[in-house]
Amino acid sequence: MRQLFDTVWQRQGTSWIWDEEARNQVCLASEVWSLRQFMQAVGKWPEELPGNNGRTLVVAGLDGSLDLLTPEDAEFWLGDAVKSAILSFQDEYGSEGALIFWLPLGRNRIEVHIPTDEVKWLCEAPFRESKLDFGRILWGQANEYPQEIFLKERDKSAGLFHSRIT
C-alpha cells in the first residue's frame, strides 16, 4: 500500500482515521458529526462543511454501528446505505471537500494484508472470528488506490485515504 505524507486527505477524498492528532488537525471535537447526522444529510448537504475552514466533514460512530450488527447485516448496510451516502457526499463536494470517518480504535480493527493491499474490518464480540472486506464493499477491490496516511516519517499510520470511491 502506498504511503501518504501529504495533507491532501484533509481537503478531499474519503478517509478513515484513528489517530487523534490527525483528527485534531482538521476539526474541533465539537465539529464532529454523528453517523446519524451524516446519514440524514444525504441529499441536503450544507453549503459549508464544519471543519478545516469549510473543507472537511468528520463523522464518528461508524465503528459502533458496525459492532451492533451481525457481519452479514453490517456488510449489506456498509455496501448499501453507507456507500450511497459517501457517493452522495462526493457528488456534492467533488474535490472541494473531505469526508473523514473517525475510528478511535481503528488501528486495532482495520487490517491491511500487505501482499494484496486488501483492507478488512475486524468484527467485535460476539463475532470476533469474522472480518468485513472493506476493500470489496467500499471501493470494489481497487486495492491500488487506498493509501496509508502518515503524519511523520517513521510514525505509525494515522489512517487510510481514498481519493474517490466509485
- What are the pLDDT digits (tens) for 31-78? 999 999 999 999 999 999 999 999 999 999 999 999 999 999 999 999
Task: Report d(CA 65, CA 81) in Å as an integer.
Answer: 12
pLDDT at 141: 64
Task: Report d(CA 9, CA 12) in Å as an integer.
Answer: 6
State which residues form the domain around 85: 2-162
Q: How many domains, the chain? A: 1
- What are the pLDDT digits (tens) for 142-156? 655 789 999 988 789
pTM score, whole prediction: 0.94
Pairing of strands 98-102, 110-113: unpaired
- Whether the CB-CB separation of 27 and 75 falls below 8 Å is answered with no
